[in-house]
Amino acid sequence: MFKPFDIEKFSSLESPLSKCSFIWDHYISRKRLDDYEPSWALSPYSTVKKAIDNKDNLEVLTERDYFLINETIKSHLQKDGTEVPIRTGFPNEGSRIMHDCWKAGSFTWIFMGRIECQAFLHGNYAVISRRLPDDMYDLLDKDYAPQTLFAAYDRLDESKNIGPAVTLEYLLREIDKEDRNVQI
């Protein structure tokens, strides 16, 4: 089990760069220590890292980088169980709850829980799952989604992510479709 994100300590940090460093440390703490860990850092964490690496030359950051950094900081300030829109800026499309700094059920949420699950390879993809804790799941309409969701990622190419999926079987079929498309 990994150490939970310390939102109180994070909230007390003053500068955006110190918040970026805290977020990056959180990302590093969730890395797998096996062959299933990807060679890339998930966006928006790669953008946070870009800010840290260029702290003396922030001119290299684009407007989009600043947007992603601000959204990432806002996401990490949300307490578990907070209800948020499914898509930022679209409040009428429904809501999700926050868990572990991300919208529960999103690809990023599943990915950030990869350290907790048994992973396996299917084609070129590492297959992972994440289970929402009982206390968080109790906040949801149980007909809406299962407690465990699945996702997959290519360990060498960040652009090749699949999920979330409500069943492992569905996810494996989607990976097989993707692999067939690549071979054609």
The mean per-residue pLDDT over the stretch 28-57 comes to 94
Residue 184 pLDDT: 39
Please write the tens of the pLDDT for every residue from 90-134: 767 778 889 999 999 999 999 999 999 999 999 889 999 999 999
Residue 4 is given by DSSP the state P
Using the predicted structure, report yes or no on whether residue 43 has a pLDDT greater than 50: yes
The fraction of the chain above a pLDDT of 90, given in percent, is 74
Residue 60 is given by DSSP the state G
Residue 47: burial class (beta carbons within 10 Å; 0-12, 13-18, 19+): buried
Whether residue 44 is preceded by a cis peptide bond, meaning omega within 30 degrees of 0, is yes
The answer to whether the beta carbons of residues 101 and 5 sit under 8 Å apart is yes
Please write the tens of the pLDDT for every residue from 135-184: 989 888 777 789 999 999 999 999 999 999 999 999 999 999 986 665 43
> What's the CA gap between 95 and 88, in Å, rounded?
10
Mean pLDDT taken over the chain: 90
